[in-house]
Amino acid sequence: MAGSLKRANPDLIEDAVLIRAMRDANVPKFLTDDLPLFSAIIMDLFPSIEITENDYGKLKTTIENVITDQDYQKDPMFVTKVIQLFETFNVRFGVMIVGPTGAGKTVCY
């Protein structure tokens, strides 16, 4: 994942590429309570590196449009989960979506 990020963004420093790869690969698997701990660990390991968020531009707009067209609620967290699932599919061969009934797993997929 780090290699594909570096090829897509050759101007980024290697530390930033590694942090982005770790974040993009791991954050979708964490519980909400674990995110502050992960962020703190990353900040401790790389104190001088500031990581910007990925710009999903057209992908994010398309997701929001489809959600609106299908008469679903446009929750920013749900859009984030769809993008995280997209990122997970880019780096993993097998993915399991788990959650309670009515959580939006099928819609996200």
Mean pLDDT on 17-31: 83
**Domain coordinates in residue numbering, the chain:** 1-53, 55-109
Query: Using CA atoms, how far apart are residues 49 and 39, in angstroms rounded to an integer?
Result: 12
Q: Is residue 53 pLDDT above 80, yes or no? A: no
Query: Using CA atoms, how far apart are residues 19 and 35, in angstroms rounded to an integer?
Result: 14
Tokens describing residue 108? 């996200």
Which residue has better confidence, 83 or 8? Answer: 83
Mean pLDDT on 57-85: 92
CA distances from 95 to 64, 86, 87, 88, 91 (A): 23, 11, 11, 8, 10
Q: Is residue 66 pLDDT above 80, yes or no? A: yes
